[in-house]
Structures are given as structure tokens and as C-alpha cells.
Amino acid sequence: MDLFLSTFENKIDRKGRISVPAIYRNVFERKNTSLYLFKSLTKSCLEGCGIDRINQIVDAIDQMDVLSEDTLTLQTMLSSTQEMKFDNEGRIMLSDDFIGYASLDGIALFSGIGRSFEIWNPLQWYPRDTATRDSAKKGKVPKLSFARNSNQGYS
Amino acid sequence: MDLFLSTFENKIDRKGRISVPAIYRNVFERKNTSLYLFKSLTKSCLEGCGIDRINQIVDAIDQMDVLSEDTLTLQTMLSSTQEMKFDNEGRIMLSDDFIGYASLDGIALFSGIGRSFEIWNPLQWYPRDTATRDSAKKGKVPKLSFARNSNQGYS
DNA sequence: TTCTATCCCATGATATCCCATATAATCCCA
DNA sequence: TGGGATTATATGGGATATCATGGGATAGAA
């Protein structure tokens, strides 16, 4: 499965192009698949993923009540989704819509969060990162079980 | 399962490279897997582990409420995680971000703590080590259960 | 045409590769 | 068991390749 880690800050040039970090790009080049970008439902950022993730959403919709609120929400995600094309240098073009939604301005921050990655205005991302770390230091660290029969938390 | 023990102090050269202790390196070379480094959530050090632990975090996120605080925390961990590449001499490159976060300066201390290891500024590690030992001498020693079918973790 | 997206080439920064060396650890044989 | 020989490890530095970025040229749509 796809795995996106680390953070990177890249420039948006005057043509609206931005380099996708090479290690993210490799995920798509290896499998010869496309990168899909959509507006995050809950945060003011863009979210990037592979076709697998998109298919998960589509399948989820198929199994839900057509009239439900959740269906509408997922459909909203899909309607904002764009299939991105890489140029020879591994860059993509961000639409004005995307740039506006994420309040991007000259520099974008890629933040790998596992199965997908986010694209942020650095000025909005850093305070959130700091806040989350501060919260964790106050003891709000999620417990992960690393051994089968253990109650050991992570710290 | 991976096992990291002992402490080592190695130099960070002017290119930002540092030798990973051979016995740590062997863990990854034997399984032909990568070393992952991330910023500790609770301490001013870096933490090193294998892909297994990363996968546990990713899987945990998949099964959690997207909007929960815990999800945010785990995503913060992943966004600081880097897959490290060994050069032919068994060194890795520490990014400026990592060096800054752990306040590293010329020398780094590797501290094996079982399933993972930590990378510290020696000046910060030694006082902590001493303090923990002093505390233990005053009776604060955890109980260890060696019973075969125990579910108790170390704490 | 005019605007814009795509292609193609150039460049600087820096990560990676490769070779060298000093020191420490291990081996091996008398 | 001692001590020289050999190997492993940590470190340093030059050469090379990769990556992010910039910009001109071309193609296509409005």
C-alpha cells in the first residue's frame, strides 16, 4: 500500500507549478498510476492520494444509503477531486481553486500522514504541529499496542 | 522482533552524516528493511524504529475517528518521520530539522531501549540517566513479571 | 490572434556514491 | 595464552547524480 511520510516545503512558481517531493512521486511512478488531489473536508488544506484511496471512497458510497448525509459528504469529496499530471520534472499545476482553498501563497508544505498527504500553507501548518506536540507532552498520547497481549502504551 | 540495546556516541560530520552503530544497522540489513526516524512526541530526542512500528501507526489511524485528537497526534508523528537511507559505510544523513529538534551538536548518543532506540544530545542524556538511577535507588523500581503467561507490560 | 498549458533545456544546491585511512575489535597460530 | 595479522567499524573528503527550480519555445484552446 502507498505510504507517505515526512514534510517538505516547495515553491509555487509564477506559472503555478510546484514540485511534488521525489519520494511521493516515486509511489506513483513505480505503479504507473496518477496522483489525485481534493479539498480536505475538515481542514483548510488539500489532500493527495492514489487511485486506491479514491476507489475506497467510491466503494463506500456504493454500500451506503443513497440519501444519507454521509453519502453526500463523500460525494462532495469526489466532486472536488482532480487527477494531476506530472510534467517531465515531476511538477504539477495547482488550479486557482485549489490555491484559494488552501490559502497558498508562494510556498506549499507537503505533510505525509500515512496513506495520504496534505498540502498546507506553512503559516497554517506550523502552529497546528506545535499545538499537537504541546498537547502530547501534557500526556495526551494515544495508546498503541505494540505487543499482542500487552497493555503497554506508547511514550 | 527487533532488539536495540546499549548506548553509543558517534560524530556528526560536517555534511550532517552519522554512523549508525553496526549492531543496530545489522537489524535492518538482515531483514533488508529501512530505518525510520521521527521526532519524539514527548522528549527532545529522535526515535528510530523499523517499518513494523510505522505500519502499526498507519493501521491505527485507519481505524480511528478521523476527527479525533489521537488521530491528529499519530499523523503528527508520521509527518515528522523520515525513511533513512544508509550509505555504503552505514551512515545516515540527519536533516537540519532533526538536528535542531534534538539540539544535536557534533556528537549524538544512540540509546537502545528495546524495540526502538533514541538519538540524544549527550549533554541532555547523561543527566536524565543519572536522575533515573538516583530515583531507582530510592526504591522506585518497577516490578517485572517473568511469568510465562503474563499479560503485564513493563511500566 | 491571445492566453495558457505543456515540453524541453539549463542550473545551483545538495544528497549520494566511492575511495581512503585510522582505530578498535577479532582471529589465528605458535 | 600472547601477540602479530586480519577484519570490522567509524570517519573524512572528492566525484557524481539527483532534485527543485527557472525560463524559453511550442502546441492547443478560446
Domain membership of residue B107 as a residue range? 7-137
B75, A114: Cβ pair inside 8 Å?
yes
| pLDDT tens-digit readout, B7-33 | 999 999 999 999 999 999 999 999 999
State the angle between helix axes of A122-137 and B69-79 in degrees (0 to 180), rounded to the nearest 10.
110
Parallel, antiparallel or unpaired: strands B117-120 and B46-49: antiparallel
B144 part of a folded domain = no
Q: How far, CA to CA in Å, does A71 sit from each of A39, A76, B32, B137?
A: 16, 9, 43, 60
Buried b vs exposed e over B7-27: b needs ≥16 C-beta within 10 Å?
bbebebeeeeebbbbeebbeb
Distance separating alpha carbons of residues A7 and A124, to the nearest angstrom: 14
A134 part of a folded domain = no
| pLDDT tens-digit readout, A41-94 | 999 999 999 999 999 999 999 999 988 998 999 999 999 999 999 999 999 999
B33 part of a folded domain = yes
Residue A8's CB: how many other CB atoms inside 10 A? Answer: 16
Q: pLDDT > 90: what percent of chain B?
A: 85
The whole-number pLDDT of residue A50 equals 96
The whole-number pLDDT of residue B143 equals 80
Question: Per the structure, how many domains does chain A have?
Answer: 1
The whole-number pLDDT of residue B139 equals 78
A110 part of a folded domain = yes
Residues of chain A with C-beta less than 8 angstroms from the C-beta of B83: 5-6, 23
Q: List bases in chain D with any atom under 7 Å of a protein Cβ.
A: 8-13, 18-23
Higher model confidence: residue A1 or residue B99?
Answer: B99
Q: pLDDT > 90: what percent of chain A?
A: 85
The whole-number pLDDT of residue B149 equals 56
The whole-number pLDDT of residue A147 equals 46
pLDDT of A28 higher than 50: yes
CATH number of the domain at B12, please: 3.40.1550.20
pLDDT of A25 higher than 80: yes
Which among B53, B67, B79 has the least Cβ separation from residue A7? B79
A11 CB and strand C closer than 7 A: no
